[in-house]
Structure 1
Amino acid sequence: MKTAAVLVATSLAVANATISVPGINYNPRIGPNWGPDATNCKSSAQIDKDFAILAKVTKGVRIYSLTDCNAGELVIGAAKKAGLTVWLGLWVGPLPSIFDAEKVKLTELIEGGLVDSTVVGIHVGSAAVSRNDVTPEIAIANMKEVKDELATAKINVPVTIADYADTWAANPSMVEAVDVVSANQYPFWEKKNASDSAAWFYKRMEPVIASAIKYKKKILISETGWATGGAAEKASPATPAQAAKYFNDFSLLAKQMDWNYYYYTSFDMAFNANETDTNNVEQHFGLFYANGTMKPCYANLTVSGASTVVTKAPSQLATVTPAPKATPANKTDNTTTTPQNRLLRPRRQPRPPSRPRRVPR
C-alpha cells in the first residue's frame, strides 16, 4: 500500500507540474562510486521508470560518462523508449587511461548502432581543465579524437568540452576549437541570494559571450542549479524558496538570451554526501526527490515575470546549440574530485563524480 501511495503521489506531482526545462542532467548511480555496480547503479528498469517521469518535464537528458554504471548504453536505450534525446559525456581525468576507456565505449556504441538521432551532442570532459586534470591543449586534442571518430562513422553531432565560464573566458583557444561553447555556472556556490543570482550568472557569462561572438560559436548552458536543502560553509542558502526563485529567474534569463540548457539535476542523490565533513547540500539538487516525486517548490511553481537582467545584449550574440526545445510544463588517481572543488576520501575505482562542486577561482 505504501508503494502504491508513493506511485500515486509521484504521478500527481508530475501531472500537475507547470514547469519544464529544455534538458536535464542525469546520473544512474544510487550508491558510492567505489561500490560494485550491482548494488550502486540503477537497473535498466529503474532508468526506464526515471525517464518516464522526466519525459513529462523535459525533452532531453545529459550524462557525464559512458562507462560509469554503463550509462552510455543504458541511457540511450531508455531514452529511445521515453522519446527523449541524449547529450553524451565522456569523462576525462588526469590519467589518460580514463579517457581511453570512455573512447573504447564510444566505439562500441557507434558500432552497435546506438549513436543515432537520439544523440544530439557529445562533450569530452567535464570541468577537467578547471580541475587542472588536463591542459586546454590536451582537452582540445581529446575532443578532436572524438570528432575524428564520429566523422569516420559519418555521424554529425556537435562536439565540445564542458567547463566553467571563467575557464572558457581564459582560454579562447577552446572556444575556437569546439562546435559549441558548453558552459557550467553555479551562483549557488558564490554565497549569493537567489534574487541576485540571474544577474550574477549573466555577468560571469559576458566575457564568454564576447568570445563566442568572435569565433561565431553558439552557447549551451550545460549545468546550473540550486540545492533545496542541506548546508555548506561556502554555499548560498539552500532552501526550497531560494531554489524556486533561482529556477524562475534563470528560466527567464535563458528565455531572454535564447539559451537552451541542461538543468542540474533530475533526482536527489541521498548517497551524495561529503564523507569528510557535514556539508550535505550536494544531496539536494534534484527537481525530484529520489523516489520520483517532484519537490513541492517546483510542482507548485509557475514561472512568471520577465527578465530585466540584460538591457543591451551584444548585437551579434550567438544563440544556443541543439539541446532540444522543451514543451511547457576528477581525479581518478585514488582521489575524488567533482565539478566543484572539495576533495573527498580516496576512491577505490576510477569513476566520474556525481555532484557539482566548486572549482578554484
Structure 2
Amino acid sequence: MTSYEHKGNGVANEKLNGVGVNGGGGTAAAASTTKMSWWTAFLQRTSLRRLIAYAAVAVVVLVLVIVGAVVGTKRRDESGGNNGSGNSGNNGQQPSFPLDPRLKNSFWGIAYTPYGAIDCTATQANVTKDIMQLSQLTTRLRLYAADCNVTSLVVQAIEDLHVNMSVYAGIYVHPDAESYVSQVAQLDNTYAAYGPSRVLGVTVGNEYILNAPSRGDSIVNASTWLVSRINDYKAHLLQLTSTTSTNYTSIPVGSSDAAGDFINTLVPVSDYLFVNIHPWFSQNTFEQAAWFSWSYMQNIVMPGVDPSLTAIPPAGVSTTSSAAVPTSTARLPELFQGEFGWPTGTDSPPLGVNPAGSLAGIPQMQRVLDDWVCPSNRNGTKYFWFAAYDEPWKAMYGGVEQHWGLFYANGTLKEVSIPDCPHS
C-alpha cells in the first residue's frame, strides 16, 4: 500500500474553532499494493581538478596570477555575481539546463508529490524534469511519504543537477505498522546512498489526528499512535547513529496537522510542527486569504501552544510521556505554515466556490500569490506553497482537489506571474 491518503474536499472538510483549516489535498489515497524496487543507479560525475605548478621564475608566477584573475572573473560572470545567499538556486554553479525567465526563486518552500508516486510509477526522468523547474522557484521541498522510492528519486535529481535544494522528507502514518516500517527502511536507503545532508527534517504524519474521525478512530487513539511513531523514529535515528559513522540524530523530527487543540499533543515530542492552514476552506475570500492565514498562525496557533509542554528531548532521543527530560533541552518546537495556496479550477462547478463566495481560478491564485509570497518573505514566515503541480488522480474526489498546482500536470506553468523577491 502506498502511504498517501486523501484529506477531504470542499464539501466535507473538517472545521476547527469555526474556521476551515484542513489541507487542500496535498497527500493522497492508498491506491496500489505494488512497490518499486529501490533505485540505486546514479550518473557518474567527474570533478575538475586544477594542478597549479609553482615556479621560481618571477615571470612564470606573473603569468599564473594573470590567468587566475581571468578565470575568477569568468566564474563570477557565469554565476551572476551570486554571493551565496539563501535563495540561490544552483550552489554557485552554472546549471546544466536552460533556465526559464518566468520562474523566480521566491518561495520559502513548496509542497511536492512526484507524478506517479501514488501507484509507485514515478520515474527518475520525470522527477529530474520537475526539479529543473522547482529549483528555479525554491530551495526547499516538502515531501509527504517515503515509500515508492520518492525521497531517493528527489535527492538523486538534486545531486545530478547540482542545484541548491534540500528536502523535508515525510513518513505518512497509517493505523498499521507495516507502512511505517517500510518507509523507515526506504529512508535508510536514501541515507546510505546520499548521506543526510540534503534532509532538513523528517515529518512523521500529516493530518493523522485531524482525519481520525473519518477513519472511525478517536482523537485520543490517533494521538497516542502518532506520538509513538515520532518517538520510535527518533529512537531509530539514535540507533542508526550508533551503528554508523554519521550523526543522524542531528536530523530534526517533526509532524504536521491542522490547527487545533491536539497540536499540543505533538509539542512535547516534536522538533518542529507543520501547521496546515487553508483559507479556501474558511469563511474568507481570496482577497482575505493571506491576511487570514498569517493572523491565524500568529493570533490563534502560536498563543495556543501550551508553554508547559515545551520540554522535548533532543533529536534522536526516544522518551515516553512520563520520562524526565533535562531542563537544558527544553525548547518550543518551531512552527511552520505547512501548506498554503489557492486552487485554480474545479471538476464540480458547485464546488468551485468556497464558503466565502470566492472562486477557484487563475486570477484568484495570482492575487493570493501577490499578497502572500513577498510579504511572508519579508516578515520571516516559513511556509510551503501548496502545491507544485496539479494532480489528476484526485479527480475521483471532485471539486478543486486536483487543481492546486502552480503548474498544470504536464509541467506547463499556469497563467500566473511569479512574484520576484528573495527568501531566507
Q: Common fold, TM-score beyond 0.5? A: yes
Match of 2:88 in 1: none
C-alpha separation in 2, matches of 1:53 and 1:161: 27
Compared CA separation, residues 184 and 171, structure 1 to 2 (3 A): closer
The counterpart of 1:141, out of the listed 208, 212, 228, is: 228
Q: Structure 2 matches for 1:210-225, cutoff 5 A?
A: 210-212=303-305, 214=307, 215=310, 216-225=332-341
Residue 390 of structure 2 is aligned to residue 271 of structure 1 = no
Task: Find the residue that maps to 1:295 and give its secondary structure.
Answer: coil
Q: Structure 2 matches for 1:99-138, cutoff 5 A?
A: 99-110=180-191, 112-132=192-212, 135-138=222-225
Is the 2:263–2:305 Cα contact (8 Å) retained in structure 1?
no
* CA deviation string 1:27-46 (max 9, x = no partner): 11348x4x5x3xxx331011
For residue 196 of structure 1, report the CA deviation from its aligned partner. 1.1
Compared CA separation, residues 326 and 42, structure 1 to 2 (3 A): farther
C-alpha separation in 2, matches of 1:53 and 1:131: 32
Residue 254 of structure 2 is aligned to residue 160 of structure 1 = yes
Is the 2:352–2:359 Cα contact (8 Å) retained in structure 1?
no
Letter in 1 for 2:229: N
Residue 279 of structure 2 is aligned to residue 187 of structure 1 = yes
Task: Find the residue that maps to 1:209 and give its secondary structure.
Answer: helix
* CA deviation string 1:134-154 (max 9, x = no partner): 522221110111112223322
Task: Find the residue that maps to 2:335 and give its secondary structure.
Answer: strand
Match of 1:63 in 2: 143
The counterpart of 1:98, out of the listed 179, 182, 188, is: 179
Match of 1:284 in 2: 403
Is the 2:352–2:399 Cα contact (8 Å) retained in structure 1?
no
Letter in 1 for 2:279: P
Match of 1:3 in 2: none
Over the aligned positions, Cα root-mean-square deviation in angstroms equals 2.6
Task: Find the residue that maps to 1:27 and give its secondary structure.
Answer: coil
C-alpha separation in 2, matches of 1:45 and 1:98: 26
- The number of aligned residues is 282
For residue 128 of structure 1, report the CA deviation from its aligned partner. 0.6
Compared CA separation, residues 104 and 50, structure 1 to 2 (3 A): same
Match of 1:209 in 2: 302
Letter in 2 for 1:198: A
Is the 1:181–1:212 Cα contact (8 Å) retained in structure 2?
no
Is the 1:92–1:125 Cα contact (8 Å) retained in structure 2?
yes
Is the 1:190–1:234 Cα contact (8 Å) retained in structure 2?
no
Match of 1:27 in 2: 113
Residue 299 of structure 2 is aligned to residue 174 of structure 1 = no
For residue 271 of structure 1, report the CA deviation from its aligned partner. 2.8
- Structure 1 unaligned segments of length 5 or more: list them: 1-9, 304-324, 328-361
Letter in 2 for 1:239: G
Match of 1:79 in 2: 158
Letter in 2 for 1:274: M
* CA deviation string 1:182-237 (max 9, x = no partner): 11111112252111122321343223212458333321122111111224267341
Letter in 2 for 1:209: M
For residue 286 of structure 1, report the CA deviation from its aligned partner. 0.9
Match of 1:245 in 2: 367
Task: Find the residue that maps to 1:271 and give its secondary structure.
Answer: helix
C-alpha separation in 1, matches of 2:105 and 2:287: 19
Is the 2:377–2:423 Cα contact (8 Å) retained in structure 1?
no
Compared CA separation, residues 248 and 61, structure 1 to 2 (3 A): same
Percent identity, please. 23
Compared CA separation, residues 260 and 203, structure 1 to 2 (3 A): closer
For residue 26 of structure 1, report the CA deviation from its aligned partner. 1.1
C-alpha separation in 1, matches of 2:228 and 2:194: 24
For residue 94 of structure 1, report the CA deviation from its aligned partner. 2.1
Task: Find the residue that maps to 1:237 and give its secondary structure.
Answer: coil
Higher relative contact order (CA 8 A, sep 6+): 1
* CA deviation string 1:150-172 (max 9, x = no partner): 23322112110111122xx4342
Task: Find the residue that maps to 1:272 and give its secondary structure.
Answer: helix
Is the 1:187–1:201 Cα contact (8 Å) retained in structure 2?
yes
Letter in 2 for 1:208: V
Is the 1:25–1:62 Cα contact (8 Å) retained in structure 2?
yes
Letter in 2 for 1:74: L
Is the 1:59–1:326 Cα contact (8 Å) retained in structure 2?
no
Letter in 2 for 1:103: V
Is the 2:353–2:360 Cα contact (8 Å) retained in structure 1?
no
C-alpha separation in 1, matches of 2:392 and 2:268: 39
For residue 87 of structure 1, report the CA deviation from its aligned partner. 0.8
Letter in 2 for 1:109: T
C-alpha separation in 1, matches of 2:129 and 2:197: 22
Compared CA separation, residues 139 and 291, structure 1 to 2 (3 A): same
Compared CA separation, residues 190 and 223, structure 1 to 2 (3 A): same
Larger Rg: 2
Match of 1:330 in 2: none
